[in-house]
A and B are shown apart, each in its own frame.
Chain A
Amino acid sequence: MTASTSGVITLHVNGEPHTLTVDHRTTLLDALRERLGLTGTKKGCDQGQCGACTVLLDGRRAVACLQLAVAAEDRAITTIEGVADGGRLHPVQQAFIELDGYQCGYCTPGQICSALGVLDEHAAGWPSAVTADVRPEAGPPALTDDEIRERMSGNLCRCGAYTAIVRAVAQAAKVVSA
């Protein structure tokens, strides 16, 4: 039965189709890094616990280490390599650089992809666990530092650059909504 435990799949990464044969056990994270050479997406824990492998799937943030590559077929995958607009950095990337939102940089691609998700989720009016009143009539919560901390809590930073990460996300939110 070996043949049927692998298959040919097409992954749509940063707007480009890539056709490859994968063992079904391959995670999207390993496919991106080991097969497609897109090493910007990092492996921290490989257990969904650190957020280093965060990518966008159909525009929503997800951890690539718990996503099987075969199950990501037909989905639009955005990695850190696809975030900039040609030579122009995305406002989130720009803010991380300007405000030193990192030290070693290992968690940074995941932080930035996660922040992109946070900005979209907030713009869509989603509440979070620290939103005082989740009822629709309360209106969308302001993106306070507490809201940013809670929404970014799926991304750990071993260097402890959290203070600057919160600032960078707050600045990017202003730029994006301006």
Chain B
Amino acid sequence: MREFRYRRAADVADALALLEAEPEARPLGGGTNLVDLMKTGIERPALLVDLRDLPLDRITPTADGGLRVGATVTNSDLAAHPQVRLHFPALAQAVLAGASGQLRNMATVGGNLLQRTRCGYFTGAAAPCNKRLPGSGCAALTGEHHNHAVLGASPHCVAVHPSDMAVALAAFDAVVTYETPGGPGELPLAEFYLPVGSTPQLETALPPGALITGVVLPPAPVAAVSRYRKVRERASYAFAIGSLAAALDVRDGIVREVRLAFGAVASRPWRARQAERALTGQHADAVAFAAAADAELAAARPLPHNGYKLPLLRDLVVGVLTELAEEAAR
């Protein structure tokens, strides 16, 4: 591990000043991804700016009936919060489906959004990897890629974003807020993660030196009937091989509104807008649910070893929406 300096920021202005003065500085949230990657030399910051004392650890209602979640709120506190569980149950479920109790107690909302991919060639440091070493190639294309992307990938990188939380945030149109030395800014989650293109090393649209201050969830009545389901290779404590955040509003058997986002299929949480469009106004039944999934998956380009994800996602959509339709009817 590279030697590094450590400072605990007193407030947001202090954190921004520290980050601005040292281009090789990194904010430290819970450290559960950053420290891990520093041990293997994938991350080599010269300075860690610890965010623990920042007043960003609260969840507060917004004037319009949404929720503002501070960047240093722990994953545990997010999932346990009564307003989150009541108004956005799929978000609480998504967070609870991630990592372990210990890790969720440490991990923060900001760090969760910015966690790096678990592609073994990225974390392994020996193989070619365009994300780790731009221009070196992508070992996953011809190697181990059973858990890589089927949507939105490029020949330069086929890695998936590992966050469960971000999938639910994508379904609920969350907005990421940040501060820079030049002033505040915000990015809808749909624009937060950059398309892969030929620059997989550039993952987000955050300006350099920006500090995430939180995430705003706009009011979304449809989210009251929502669910997150995660498929993994063991029952618990593993990353997703496919997941779905879904919300459904059905009246008289007709889909009034639907939200769908896939996890573990792309370099970012994948909002399934084609499927949403296909389903809105249709009868809420398994045939329509499957057709909606197919509308989204028509654009999928599976690799030799991850084609299983397509039927998996289709089954997730049909299964979860069927349950939500029953719940909505109650």
Contacts and interface: CB of A to CB of B under 8 A. Distances in A.
A14 interface: no
B82 A136 contact: yes
B80 interface: yes
Interface in B85-130: 85-86, 89, 92-93, 96-97, 99-103, 105-106
Contact of A154 (B35, B50, B96, B99): B99
Interface of A: 1-2, 4-5, 7, 23-25, 27, 46-48, 51, 54, 57, 60-63, 66-68, 70-71, 114, 117-118, 121, 124-129, 131, 133-137, 149-155
Contacts, number: 123
17 contacts: A2-B3, A5-B5, A24-B3, A24-B5, A51-B100, A60-B76, A63-B102, A66-B30, A66-B35, A67-B35, A71-B50, A118-B101, A127-B80, A134-B93, A134-B96, A153-B100, A153-B236
Contacts of B3: 1-2, 5, 23-25
B5 A1 contact: yes
B85 A135 contact: yes
A109 B28 CA distance: 27
Contacts of A71: 6, 8, 28, 31, 48, 50, 52
Contacts of A1: 3, 5
Given A27-B35, A128-B96, A135-B86, A151 B48 contact: no
Contacts of B6: 7, 24, 68, 70-71
Contacts of B28: 68, 71
Given A68-B48, A134-B85, 5 more contacts: A25-B4, A46-B39, A54-B102, A127-B79, A134-B93
A153 B103 CA distance: 11
Nearest to A125: B80
Interface of B: 1, 3-6, 8, 28, 30-32, 35-36, 38-39, 48, 50, 52, 76, 79-80, 82, 85-86, 89, 92-93, 96-97, 99-103, 105-106, 230, 235-237
Contact of B89 (A7, A118, A124, A135): A135
A25 B5 contact: no
A114 B103 CA distance: 11
A150 B93 CA distance: 13
Nearest to A126: B80
B33 to A, nearest CB: 9
A78 B161 CA distance: 34
10 nearest interchain CB pairs?
A154-B100, A153-B236, A5-B3, A153-B237, A129-B96, A136-B82, A60-B105, A126-B80, A24-B6, A25-B1
A68 B6 CA distance: 10
A149 B36 CA distance: 26
Contact of B237 (A61, A124, A154): A154
Contacts of A133: 89
Contacts of A51: 100, 102
Given A46-B39, A68-B35, A24 B96 contact: no
B244 to A, nearest CB: 15
Contacts of A137: 86
Nearest to A131: B96
A169 to B, nearest CB: 12
B96 A63 contact: no
B36 A48 contact: yes
A23 B50 CA distance: 16
Contact of A61 (B85, B96, B102, B230): B102
B2 to A, nearest CB: 8
A38 B238 CA distance: 30
Nearest to B40: A47
A75 to B, nearest CB: 9
A63 B194 CA distance: 32
Given A5-B5, A127-B85, A153-B236, A47 B36 contact: yes
